[in-house]
Structures are given as structure tokens and as C-alpha cells.
Amino acid sequence: MNKLSKLIIAGLMTASSLTMGALSVNAETVLRLDEVAVGELDPAKASDYADSILMFNMYDTLILPKQGGPGHVAHLASSWETDGASYTFTLRDDVKFQSGNAFTAEDVVFSFERTKALGAGLSYLFGDIESVVAIDANTVKFTLARAYAPFVASLVRLPILDKKLVMANLGDGEGEMKDWGQAFLSGNSAGTGAYSVVSHNPQEETVMAKSSSYFAAMNAAAPDTVRLRYGLEAATVRTLIAQGQHDISSQWLPPEVMKALVNDGAQLFKEAGTGAFYFKMNTTKAPLDDVNCRLALANAFDYETAVKMIAVTDDVAQGSAATGAIPVGMFGANPASNTSSQNMEAAKQYLADCKYDAAEMDIEISWIAEVPLEERFALLMQSNFTQLGIASHIKKLPWALFAEQVSKAENTPHISQLFVNAVTGDPDTLLYGMYHSSVPGTWQSPEHLNDAEVDKWLEAGRAGTNDAEREAAYSALNKRLLAIAPTIYGFDRQSVFVASSRVSAPALTDPSKAFGLDGMGFSFRLMEMSE
């Protein structure tokens, strides 16, 4: 081989090496995770965990929870001030929607009006807002009808939409606003978020792509594409992670599956709980319309065994022992040492005082098909009830069917198993949506409770002007809920996820960077992916 040939070959090899290096640097990273179906894309309808993940990534809000501690920081807003009756927000002037439209105060007003008009999802959070007015392009004023302590926290659930884009895509409907863009937003995003929708099937998968012009901090190695899959079986998730074809599991994997994956080299992500696991009793259906029967079941439940069932490793579990109706750490919670425990003698006494004959009872215990761990709790509960001489039967319900059935009290099972979280991080958004008489029949409230004293303390918690007043209100609420037992309080929740070594998520591993709001740890812009 002559010298010229060697130089040519060397040059080709160098070019090839540079090309391969460029391809490696620019290779697209894909984050793959799963959650329970159904994924709701319309942010005004978002309420559960999958919906929240979608909303927090495709849309932004005026404020965000402060990472690593209590309180909130400005986000789409640059600052705010209040006189107690009204809140005035100064907005950032450097933000654009992904359509290219500028973000203004009119978009905030429109987003509020749309949320209120649809009356879906978490719209009840904004019932005490009397008006929202655009003072100018970069200033918006919220006026409250009455004091509402959790107002600022509630704004993490008011995603801001692109008014111009939605107005250009109104579907069929009556009136000036027709369908308020519901058809369009069921398959498209219209936010300022770090990610936008590429494709969406609410039963199968949502594919999202990273924005190249996001206004806030974004990790340089944040995933380029995110594939959020719905309703994967635990065995499927285990296989996919083991084979390197999946990156983050849902929190619903059975503990032994999580442990096996950790033993194979996977890591654990954790999200500190702002909620709990509940066995919700239909207070309108015999025999659970009798408080003594409910108290009998609550005392018969084996709380200690339930907590053992959620251990993942010696150091990590999916929850801790409950102390009452309110999770430890929130206003009104009982001390951590005051844990609930089984008391069969008390259970038998309450049953004796019940107006119904135990021999004629047949309690329906439901569990969510996408959460296999719940079947085990149903079997534990069935065993506990058998000790009282009460018959029961277990019914498996897909999430979508369950959410439909509980809209009517007569179709709601005797007992429903649910994880419920404080959707803004404030106890109001954990408890009001479950127990206030004005909001029965949602997936959060299959108790169908109507109790004047509960309503009184819930409203006092909202109106409290300082921490002491709110603590007193929620403490009284806790006492009342334990006395009337609409719910069996299983355990305080901690979400645990199995993750591959390809992904880093500081908000789910470092307490100093945690948000204190369920789902926000899955802000993909703050994650880091390796190829």
C-alpha cells in the first residue's frame, strides 16, 4: 500500500470516527414509563396521577411548589402581592406558548373561565374565586368571595392555556364558546410546557417531545422523547425493565416485584406522601349506613399486617402506619406514635350495637384491576370480617369502570380501595374532595358522606387565617371522621417506583430537591437520560 493510499484510508477512518461521535452525541434519548389508564390530556379535567404527569409537563402554572421545603415560588408569574381579599400577579414577559403565541394575562383569565365552565377535574378548588381580571397584558388580579387559606397552593392546579390556539379550534357545541375546545384538547396540547404531545391514546400511550425553546431551567440531558404507557401488567413491566426496554415503573408494582428488580440492579425512586391508602365505605348502602357497622369493620381490620404487605426492602416501604384520617405531617394529624391497630373486642361490641344482623350481611369489597396489590388487601379484609361472622365477596373493577360506577351511590361497592393525595400539597385538597357533602360521587368520594359537622370543619380549615386556626379545624375534623368511620384508614402513603440505571431524577431521590406535590417529581425537564 503506497503512502497516498494510507493517507486516504486514515482520512476516511477519521471522518468515520467523527461522524459516529456526532451521531452518539446527537442520538435521541427516549424515556419510557407507565401509569394506570386512563391518561386525561385536557388539563381542566386532570385529577389523578397519570393526568397530573401529563399536565405538569405540557402546561405551566403561575406558581410552583418550592423544592425541598414548604411554600411556593413564582413560575409563569414573576411576583405576586395580596391584601387578603385579592391577589395580584405580575407575569413574566418572556414566555411564549409552543404555538409561538405570546403568554399574557388574557390567557390566565381564559384558563380560569374555561375550568369553571367545564366544572370537571379539580375545578372545585376555585369555587371561592369571585373574579379574575386582566389589569394589563402582564398583570392579572384574582378576587376572592371569602377568605380561602389554600388559594395560592390551589394555583398549582390552574394550568394556563393558549387562548388564541384554543379559540381557533372550538368544536361543536352551543353558545359562543361551543365545546370550549374539548375535542381539540383531547388530542393536542396548548401550553407553554417543556413538552408537547406527539400522539395520544388514553388507553395505551401518550408520546411527548421536548421543547427546544422552553423559558425555564431544563437539564441538557433531559429526555428528547417520553413514552407514557398505560395499564401495563406487573409481569410485563418487570420483563421490560429487566431487558432494558423500560425506564420507570408505576407505583403500583407489587413489593416483591420491586425487590426482585432492585436485586437485579434497578434503583428505587420515592415520592414522599401527601396522602394515604383508604378503604372507603359507602355510607348510603346497608349495612354500612349504620355507623356501628362501619366502626365494627374499622376495628376488625388488621393494620399491622397491611403495613408489612407494602415493604419493598428492609429500608423502603410504600407507606407507614396510619394514625387517623389525616396523614402525619399535615394540619390536624395525630402523633406518629398513635398508630391504628386491630381491636376485635371493640369490633364485636360495635357489631352487637348495629341494627343489622351480621348473619345476613354480604359485603362487596372491590379492588382496582390495574393495582394487583389491592387484591391482597381485599383478601386480608375478607379474612378479618370472617372473624366477625360477616360474609363478603371480592370484585375486580377496571379503573375506568370503577370511576363510572361510583358516580351513583346505588352502584358504588360497599368498600372501595383508593390511594388519594393532596393534589396541591395542602390538606384541603386531600380532605374536601373526599368528604364535603357538595362533592359526592367522584372517584375520591365513594363514601357519599353527608355530615354537617364534617362540612363545618372542612370549611373552617379553608377559612383559617393562620396556622393555629387551621390546625384546630383539622384536628376537630380528624376526631369527627374517626368517630363516624366513613373510611378505614389503611396507611399513610409513600410512592415507590423502580427505575433503570439510564435515568436520573433528583426530585425523586434527593429530599432537598423534592417538590412535596404528587406527580411533580416527574417533571421530565429536570431528569437526565443516558443513551
Check which CATH number belongs to the domain holding 377 and give it: 3.10.105.10
Give pLDDT, residue 26. Answer: 59
199 and 153 within one domain: no
pTM for this entry: 0.81
380 and 357 within one domain: yes
For 328, phi then psi, to 5°, come to: -55, 135
Residue that terminates a domain, selected from 128, 154, 184? 184
In the sheet that 362-368 helps form, which strands lie side by side, from edge to edge? 319-321, 487-493, 275-281, 415-421, 362-368, 391-397
Residue that terminates a domain, selected from 159, 184, 209? 184
The reply to whether 50 falls in a domain is no
CATH assignment at residue 524: 3.40.190.10
Q: How far apart (Å, rounded) are the C-alpha atoms in residues 250 and 352?
A: 42
All 3 cell numbers of residue 72?
Answer: 411556593
Burial call 210-225: b when 16+ CB within 10 Å, e when fewer: bbeebbbebbeebbbb
Owning domain of residue 285? 275-493
441 and 305 within one domain: yes
215 and 178 within one domain: no
The reply to whether 10 falls in a domain is no
Give pLDDT, residue 19. Answer: 39
Nearest to 398 by CA among 233, 280, 207: 233
488 and 505 within one domain: no
71 and 124 within one domain: yes
469 and 322 within one domain: yes
Domain count, the chain: 3
Give pLDDT, residue 529. Answer: 96
The reply to whether 24 falls in a domain is no
The reply to whether 44 falls in a domain is no
511 and 379 within one domain: no
Determine the angle formed by the axes of helices 291-300 and 373-387, rounding to 10 degrees.
110
Strand partners, 487: 280
How many residues in the chain?
531
Residue that terminates a domain, selected from 151, 184, 217? 184
All 3 cell numbers of residue 269?
Answer: 425512586
End-to-end Cα separation, the chain, in angstroms: 39
The reply to whether 39 falls in a domain is no
The DSSP secondary structure of 414-479, one letter per residue, reads SEEEEEEE-TTSSTHHHHHHHH-TTSTTSTT-TT----HHHHHHHHHHHH-SSHHHHHHHHHHHHH
255 and 282 within one domain: no
Question: Over its length of 531 residues, how does the chain's per-residue pLDDT go in tens digits?
Answer: 544 444 444 444 444 443 344 444 458 999 999 998 888 999 999 988 899 999 999 999 999 999 988 889 999 999 999 988 999 999 999 999 999 999 999 999 999 999 999 999 889 889 889 999 999 999 999 999 988 889 999 999 999 999 999 999 999 999 999 999 999 999 999 999 999 999 999 989 999 999 999 999 999 999 999 999 999 999 999 999 999 999 999 998 999 999 999 999 999 999 987 899 999 999 999 999 999 999 999 999 999 999 999 999 988 999 999 999 999 988 999 999 999 999 999 999 999 999 999 999 999 999 999 888 899 999 999 999 999 999 999 999 999 999 999 999 999 999 999 999 888 988 998 999 899 999 888 899 999 999 999 999 999 999 888 889 999 999 999 999 999 999 999 999 999 999 999 999 999 999 999 998 889 999 999 999 997
Would you put residue 168 in left (φ > 0), alpha (ψ -120 to 50) or beta? alpha
The reply to whether 481 falls in a domain is yes
Q: How far apart (Å, rounded) are the C-alpha atoms in residues 293 and 485?
A: 9
293 and 317 within one domain: yes
The reply to whether 42 falls in a domain is no
The reply to whether 150 falls in a domain is yes
Q: How far apart (Å, rounded) are the C-alpha atoms in residues 501 and 92?
A: 37
221 and 100 within one domain: no
465 and 405 within one domain: yes
- The CA–CA distances, whole Å, from 70 to 63, 64, 66 equal 13, 11, 6
Residue identified by cell 408494582 is 253
